[in-house]
Each structure stands twice: as structure tokens, then as C-alpha cells.
A = this chain, B = another copy of it.
């Protein structure tokens, strides 16, 4: 495996997450709220359908970016960022900075 190929694989791990539609937005909401539930995310994002939201959360949980806490005494469950997920926030902010600086929106 060449250095270039190894580099490629590393980029891919991040873009696999950040390249998905809705995912950067979802992570931003966790930055503010710390703990969120399914329907809260649904309301915050506005327009995402449950099928897609479920897929995103599963993906993020599998990747170790968020963790799910099911409350025994109710049907509620909370999602919150892991350390790995929190470490992703500065990158998202840099992407925003880059966009707002160069993009003429």
C-alpha cells in the first residue's frame, strides 16, 4: 500500500460521514444541545423523513460518533456525541468558515 493509498483511505473515513446528506447539520445540533431525541432531531432539521434520519443515526452510532441511551422507565432514548464525534465539530466549523469566506452566497 502506497502512502497515497493510505491517505485516501483516511480521507474516506471522514467523508463517509460528512458527505452524507443531513449529517453535518445533525452534528451541529448536537454541538448546541448535548443530548437529543429522535423527534427533536426531526423537528430541528425539518424535512428529513424518519427513514433517512434512522439511517443516519445508525450510521453515526456504528461509526462511534454518537451513542444511544435507552431509558428503561420509558420509551424515550437519547443520543449524544462521543469524544470522537466532538472532535469532528472543529472540522465542520472550518468547512463553514471556508464556505462563507469564498462563497458568494
Copies of this chain, count: 2
A77 at the interface (CB under 8 A from B): no
- Chain B contacts for A94, CB-based, 8 A: 90-91, 94
Are B102 and A10 within 8 A (Cβ)? no
Are A95 and B11 within 8 A (Cβ)? yes
Chain A positions 67 through 105: 1 when the CB is less than 8 Å from some CB of chain B, otherwise 0:
000000000000000001001101110111011111101
Interface SS of chain A: helix
Are B18 and A103 within 8 A (Cβ)? no
Are A9 and B105 within 8 A (Cβ)? yes
A39 at the interface (CB under 8 A from B): no
- Chain B contacts for A13, CB-based, 8 A: 99, 103, 105
